Amino acid sequence: MKRKTRFAATVLALMLSVGALSACGSGNNKPAPSGSPSSTSGAEASGAKDTITALLPPVSPNYQKNFKQMEADFTKLYPNLTLKIEPASWEDMTQKLDTQVNAGSPPDLAFINSEGISKYAQMDMVMDISDAVTPEMVADFDEAPLAYMKKDGGLFGLPAYMEVHAIGGNKQFLEEAGIDWKKIQQEGWTYDEFREAIKKGVVQENGATSRYGFVFATSGVAARDYLGILVKNAGLPSPFTTDHKYTYTSKNFLEVLKAVRQMIDDGSMPKELSSVDAGKRWNMFLTGQTMITGKGLAVFENSANNNNKKIDANDGSAVANSIKVDYIVLPLPSFAGHKPVSHAVVDGYVAFRGKSEPTAEHKANVAKAAYFLAAGQTSAATNSDLFAAFITDSARKAAESMESTRNPDNIAAVDKMLEHAAPARPDIPVVLGAKAIKVETEVIIPKLQALLANEITPEEMHEAVTKAAIEAFGADGVVKE
């Protein structure tokens, strides 16, 4: 039986119940593992010359530093093919991609979240590569993350990693507040328990807050994360029920909106939360201005460890005024008696098409490039840099000689959260997925900013979301309570 990752079996079971992220491409001379892209010789890859373009953000701390090497390794593997990589920041990734898509000339590959496939599929700009990938490519991947790249029976890319959106705590501050973080890692916590815990993390000095209990990035590209993560723990694992009714009209969604205001009104979170972007959030954590930060991926432990080393070495590149931090992975709280459901994030290399139908040969070449980036040595180096799990056998094989400094407790915590991961929903029609993204972009995110700024009430936001949902899906297409 094909070996799975530590989480695949559980998530796959969930998935079936609904029908179903150092030197990249270092060019070392070690024999390539079976199933690795490097196992194909240049002679086997001969053919007409072709160029594959890719728009890629800084997936891991060292990812963009290795683009030239990745391009060279790809051409070494396929002498007739050229991989041309365009770098993008996380902040301008969506704008660059949308501009190219709207012009009818998108890149062949773009690194995006799997949830974004519906948006571009609705525009008929993503490319189904199910007939271009080889059986060997498909067999290399764990089934659960691969399912996230599927919509309406098509395969629109290959996943880079499958991780959970969690939160992260400062070990010293957690223990000073009397919080049993090891127990919480394994057993979770309710919203009421979390609310009391973050109150204990607040520190007041000279009448001002010098440390908050909890800070979450809610500005810029992180704007969509906060609610999307929280609501999964409130009985809303997906924007749609299994019979495709929109769920954010539920009273459970309103309860989460009330909690969002409560944590600010308690003083546990800053009143200026709506202006906190991902960079400021992380700076606040490393400088001791918050006990718990969010969202958090496994790579944050690596980033904290690297900053600790710079502090020890009196390296001027350490974050200004930062302190040493032991990063502790923590789950999100659950609401109103609902079971915890982790937000599984599957990002990857999604295939795009222009206005003209691509040739079968070009489509096959795009699939080769996607597999080169998502598997084998390239993936092993990237995911090691991210502290993320390997989701292909070829990457696991390539990573056998790589050392890891991950905290075992954090590994166990991520394992536990993955047991509760929300399943893939390839059954959701593209048209519904695209409408949900539109409601999120045009209503939920702007109204959330207003809620955070105390300009509207939770009830007013819920009413606005409900009205937009009914307009988008019809009165019979939403959850009614």
pLDDT tens figures, 211-268: 999 999 999 778 889 999 999 999 999 999 999 999 999 999 999 999 999 999 999 9
Question: What angle do the packed helices 376-386 and 67-77 form, to 10 degrees?
Answer: 160
- At 57, give phi and psi (nearest 5°): -85, 180
Q: Are both 296 and 149 inside the same structural domain?
A: no
Q: Are both 40 and 156 inside the same structural domain?
A: yes
Does some domain include residue 469? no
CB 111 within 8 Å of CB 347: yes
Residues constituting the chain: 481
Q: Are both 322 and 353 inside the same structural domain?
A: no
Q: Are both 397 and 299 inside the same structural domain?
A: no
Tokens of 228: 């999307």
Does some domain include residue 186? yes
The predicted pLDDT at position 23 comes to: 33
The predicted pLDDT at position 392 comes to: 97
Does some domain include residue 464? no
Does some domain include residue 470? no
Interacting residues of 352 by C-beta distance below 8 A, sequence separation 6+: 101, 106, 107, 108, 109, 110, 120, 125, 126, 127
Q: Are both 301 and 385 inside the same structural domain?
A: no
Q: Are both 13 and 141 inside the same structural domain?
A: yes
- Tell me the CATH number at 293: 3.40.190.10
H helices of 181-250, where? 181-187, 191-200, 225-230
Q: Are both 357 and 386 inside the same structural domain?
A: yes
The predicted pLDDT at position 95 comes to: 94
Mean pLDDT of the chain, nearest integer: 89
Does some domain include residue 199? yes
Distance CA 52, CA 127 (A): 14
Tell me: pLDDT of 18 over 50.
no
Q: Are both 190 and 311 inside the same structural domain?
A: yes
Q: Which amino acid is at 54?
A: A
Q: Are both 16 and 128 inside the same structural domain?
A: yes
Task: Tell me whether strands 50-56 and 327-330 are parallel, antiparallel or unpaired.
Answer: unpaired
Q: Which amino acid is at 416?
A: K
The answer to which of 35-39, 52-56, 206-210, 463-467 has the lowest mean pLDDT is 35-39
- What does DSSP assign to residue 158? E
* Percent of all residues in the chain with a pLDDT value above 90, rounded to a whole number: 78
CB 211 within 8 Å of CB 176: no
The predicted pLDDT at position 37 comes to: 52
Closest among 163, 162, 156 to 370, alpha carbons compared: 156
CB 75 within 8 Å of CB 82: yes
- What does DSSP assign to residue 356? S
Q: Are both 151 and 192 inside the same structural domain?
A: no
26-30, 66-70, 297-301 — most confident range: 66-70
Range of the domain at 229: 164-343
Return the ∠ at Cα 440 (arms to 437 and 441), rounded to 5°: 85
Return the ∠ at Cα 39 (arms to 33 and 43), rounded to 5°: 165
Number of structural domains in the chain:
2
Q: Are both 67 and 129 inside the same structural domain?
A: yes
Taking only the tens place, the pLDDT of each residue in 324-353 is 999 999 999 999 999 999 988 899 999 999
Q: Are both 137 and 210 inside the same structural domain?
A: no
Distance of CA 343 to the CA centre of its chain: 9
